[in-house]
Amino acid sequence: MTDTWVIVGASRGIGLEFVRQLLQNGHHVIAGVRNVSKADRLLELKSHCTTPERCIIEECDITNEESIQKFANRVGDAAKEGLKVKNIVLNAGILQYPNRATELSFPEFALHLHTNTIGPIICAQKLVNLDPESPPSKIVFISSDSGSTTLFRDDEDGFGAYGASKAALNQMLRHMAAELTRRGGKWSDTCVLAMHPGEVQTDMANIDLGWEVKGSIQPDESVTGMLKVIEEKDETGSFWCWDGRLQYD
Ligand SMILES: NC(=O)c1ccc[n+]([C@@H]2O[C@H](COP(=O)([O-])OP(=O)(O)OC[C@H]3O[C@@H](n4cnc5c(N)ncnc54)[C@H](OP(=O)(O)O)[C@@H]3O)[C@@H](O)[C@H]2O)c1
């Protein structure tokens, strides 16, 4: 079955791999990127697709409210033209390493919160509110095990603001899940999920840490696993690892 997916933060890494696999599986994708003219790898992927019209590329800077609103409007227009959105993946994120609580500046902390917490939540809010008669089936936030509070990793030096931004994301998405259930109507069928993609070899992971990262995987393995989890899991507000294990908040 062909569905329409929205992937936000689709220019590189895990987001780009989501687009690649979804197109390969025959789906339609609306890909949101910070800067279309700099999304070379996504533009190339689209150009090699046998049916490039299945990939719509739109600007969405997750730190800019006006950009998010324009993106939501374009997704709304696409829905009116027949591309009803089934699933949304909020993938955009940053890690400016190191980001220690004892060292980082106000703007550095704010940038992590704007990009990893506030932008994804506001973007999801605008997309879920587009059409009360036809909200998305699933809203998936790409979080991180660094945001787990019950499994706090005190040895993860340099991940203060990043971990805090993902912990705040996890808490806010659970509120979103509960609010949609309380709202009733078709919104109560929307399932909100958080996902840890694993330790994935992307630009974000290409940093010199003071410890060995165990079990790192390639983006294709991570995304294949996450697509399976997204299809299978339907408990709204739950947090999953890419390989189907429950992730602790
Ligand atoms: N890699 C890992 O091991 C790992 C582990 C746990 C969680 N994660 C999470 O997985 C997600 C994807 O990470 P990745 O590893 O694929 O990182 P990446 O290779 O650095 O890619 C990050 C993506 O986010 C986009 N982005 C950043 N700021 C944005 C903004 N203001 N507006 C729109 N898009 C923006 C980037 O776009 P530009 O090209 O414009 O910069 C890029 O497409 C992130 O949320 C990250 O926190 C990754």
CA of 133 to the centre of ligand 1 (A): 31
| Structural domains in the chain plus CATH codes | 4-241 (3.40.50.720)
pLDDT in tens, 134-184: 999 999 999 999 999 998 988 899 999 999 999 999 999 999 999 999 999
Q: Single out the residue of 146, 148, 161, 31 nearest to residue 83, CA to CA.
A: 31
Evaluate: CB of 15 within 6 angstroms of ligand 1. Answer: yes
DSSP H or E stretch at residue 194: strand 191-196
Identity of the amino acid at 180: L
pLDDT in tens, 64-123: 999 999 999 999 999 999 999 999 999 999 999 999 999 999 999 999 999 999 999 999
pLDDT in tens, 173-218: 999 999 999 999 999 999 999 999 999 999 999 998 888 888 899 9
Evaluate: CB of 91 within 6 angstroms of ligand 1. Answer: yes
Mapped onto helix, strand or coil, the DSSP state of residue 124 is helix
Q: Please say whether the beta carbons of 167 and 112 come within 8 A.
A: no
Say how far apart CA 155 and CA 19 lie, in whole Å: 34
Q: Which atom of ligand 1 is nearest to the CA of 198?
A: 5
pLDDT in tens, 32-47: 999 999 999 999 999 9
Say how far apart CA 162 and CA 145 lie, in whole Å: 11
**CA nearest ligand 1 atom 26, residue:** 92
Pocket residue to mutate for ligand 1, from 90, 204, 221, most atoms within 8 A of Cβ: 204
CA of 9 to the centre of ligand 1 (A): 6
Cα-based distances in Å from 1 to 41, 52, 84, 140, 230: 27, 18, 13, 20, 15
Evaluate: CB of 63 within 6 angstroms of ligand 1. Answer: yes
CA of 60 to the centre of ligand 1 (A): 13
